[in-house]
Copies of this chain bind each other. A is one copy, B any other.
Amino acid sequence: MKQSHLFTKTRKEAPADEVSKNAQLLIRAGFIHKEMAGVYSFLPLGLRVIENIEAIIREEMDAIGGEELIMTALQRKELWEKTDRWNDKNVDVWFKSKLKNDTDIGFGWSHEEPITDMMRDYVSSFRDLPIYVYQFQTKLRNELRAKSGIMRGREFIMKDMYSYSLDEKSHQDFYDRAIKAYMNVFKRVGIGADTFITFASGGAFTQFSHEFQTITDGGEDSIYINRENNIAVNEEVFNEETLEKIGNDVIGNDHRKFKKEDFDKVTTAEVGNIFNIGTKKCEQLGLFYTDSEGKKIPVWLGSYGIGITRLMGVIVEKFSDKDGIVWPECIAPFQVHLIGLLDKEGKVKVAAEALYEKLTKNVEVLYDDRDVRAGEKFADSDLMGIPVRVIVSEKNIAEGVFEIKYRQGGKSGEVKKVSEVDLFKMLEK
């Protein structure tokens, strides 16, 4: 894409009321626009990042047998009353409204209920299971406070997956596969080493739910980690009882006795959350199957969430410096930022356009064809954070080279002069 075609512009300052680093940088770089606290639009550059993240997650969810669908925002009161989650005392993030005929409706903040209810149309026999479905869906949550930018929104995109299994064993098997798939996602987007599967409260069926927590100063959570045994516990359940349970159950026959001192406290952001729901919700909603002996059995349910926009926010919090964002290559809006430092005679324009045509056949390129100063182009490029910068200038043309500079990694900042042949070699995967 030519940068002159992009309607967004970078800006020196974020809005005064924007306190989070992720939203400040994303607004300044033209990736998002703030509609109100916790509510952001995604502009062309931001939408590209979202789609790249979604593509990675889609691959991992398909690999464990997921089928993609899309549920609705509008929710029926009767359905959520069956599981006692309509009441504002039990769920404090509902947005609610009314149809013209005065029927109460809610706006979806999660989708266990409608998906489970729908499955009654498709599940009757044991032959119909298992079923794993997922969606990328815009959730609406009436959060009391929203000051972490796109990390905690009142409106945000979430990948939520739901597993429907025959029995506890097959349920637990899938749950474990989902954990691996989640860790694959976090590895692929570059935060694997700093992301911990964390014991947290909640879970209707089991004592704990599992959170995926990523170390970042921009996070809202505190967890305690034991790196040696790769164990992490959320602050809210970090007590003697939990440690004893973990020592008995998780380490296996070792029955190790953990002490609080074995753990370090770190600030984190939750990037994923999975719930081992058991059979209770399916019993409440009437989702049963008939087994081979004709007996009616409730279905086992698991629920698995990754906040897409939240994940994008965490990545920006972690991968940024004083000059701007430093996108991991696989989710960057473009792989190459081609910068033409225009001359009066128009030689650079010709050379840069020729290179642009060639490059776009292999990689996604943003070509800065604007008639502005070199310093402004470089500052904008640093702020936008595209991994590889290729510079075409009068001087480079005279020398028969291109300049290449990486935004990230060990080679970050270093400028190299390379031939066109070498440039294409360096950009090859």
Contact = CB atoms under 8 A, between A and B. Distances in A.
Interface string A154-167: 11000000000000
A342 to B, nearest CB: 16
Interface string A51-83: 000000000000001011111111110000000
Given A97-B95, A100-B144, A114-B35, A44 B72 contact: no
Contacts of A35: 71-72, 74-76, 114
Interface in A17-69: 33, 35-36, 39-44, 46-47, 50, 65, 67-69
A142 interface: yes
A155 B72 contact: yes
Interface in A71-126: 71-76, 95-97, 99-100, 105, 107, 114, 118-119, 121-122
Interface stretch (A5-13, A204-212, A216-224, A359-367): A5-13
Interface in A286-327: none
Contact of A42 (B41, B46, B70, B114): B70
A179 to B, nearest CB: 22
A38 to B, nearest CB: 9
A68 B44 contact: yes
A114 B41 contact: yes
A41 to B, nearest CB: 5
A283 interface: no
Interface string A126-163: 00100101000010101110000000001100000000
Contacts of A11: 121
B67 A44 contact: yes
Interface residues of A, number: 51
Contacts of A7: 67, 119, 122, 128, 131, 133
A69 B47 contact: yes
Given A67-B5, A97-B95, A72 B40 contact: yes
A120 to B, nearest CB: 11
A68 B333 CA distance: 13
Contacts of A65: 5
A73 B157 CA distance: 12
B41 A142 contact: no
Which of A9, A11, A33, A155 has the most chain B CB atoms closer than 10 A to its own CB?
A: A33
A169 to B, nearest CB: 21
Contacts of A5: 65, 67
A58 B39 CA distance: 25
A390 B407 CA distance: 51
Contacts of A143: 100
A74 B155 contact: yes
B154 A74 contact: yes
Nearest to A75: B35
A118 B41 contact: yes
A97 B107 CA distance: 10
Contacts of A68: 44, 47
Which of A7, A47, A99 has the most chain B CB atoms closer than 10 A to its own CB?
A: A7
Contact of A41 (B9, B43, B70, B155): B70
15 contacts: A5-B65, A6-B67, A7-B119, A33-B121, A35-B114, A36-B105, A41-B114, A41-B118, A42-B70, A43-B69, A46-B69, A47-B70, A97-B97, A99-B154, A107-B107
- CB-based closest 9 A-B pairs: A7-B131, A95-B97, A41-B71, A42-B70, A39-B74, A44-B67, A100-B144, A43-B69, A97-B97
Given A33-B118, A41-B70, 19 more contacts: A7-B67, A7-B119, A7-B128, A11-B121, A35-B72, A41-B69, A42-B69, A44-B69, A46-B69, A47-B68, A50-B70, A73-B138, A74-B154, A97-B97, A97-B107, A99-B154, A100-B143, A100-B144, A107-B107
